[in-house]
Amino acid sequence: MRLMRLSTYAKQRYPLGDGPTLRTLRNRCESGLIPGATKEGGLWFINIDVHEKASSSLVSKVLSESKYYGRPS
């Protein structure tokens, strides 16, 4: 299990600093919108293994449901 602090996750996910604020990300963690988010003590961490697996399955689902993906133009 690889854990990453929420602040580090935000810097990697939004390198230009144009993403949501840390407060917004914390709210998303509390709401269960960020896969693999766990709170230990007062800090939020992202379980990278869970997050990557959930992200790749979501991408696969979207691409498989897209009627344009894989069709020649």
pTM for this prediction: 0.69
pLDDT score of 69 = 47
Tokens found for residue 21: 């604020």
Report yes or no on 49 lying in a domain.
Answer: yes
The pLDDT score that the predictor gives to residue 17 is 83
Residue 67 has a pLDDT of 55
- 73, part of any domain: no
Quote the domain boundaries for residue 18.
Answer: 3-65
Domain contains 34: yes
Tokens found for residue 4? 């990453």
Looking at residue 51, what is its pLDDT?
73
Count of domains observed in the chain: 1
Give residue 34's pLDDT.
87
Residue 21 belongs to some domain of the structure:
yes
Q: How far apart are CA 19 and CA 25, in angstroms?
A: 9
50: in domain: yes
Asked if residue 72 belongs to a domain, the reply is no
Whether residue 59 lies inside any domain: the answer is yes
* Residue at 71 is within a domain: no
pLDDT tens per residue across span 17-68:
888 999 999 999 999 888 889 999 999 999 988 877 776 666 666 656 655 5
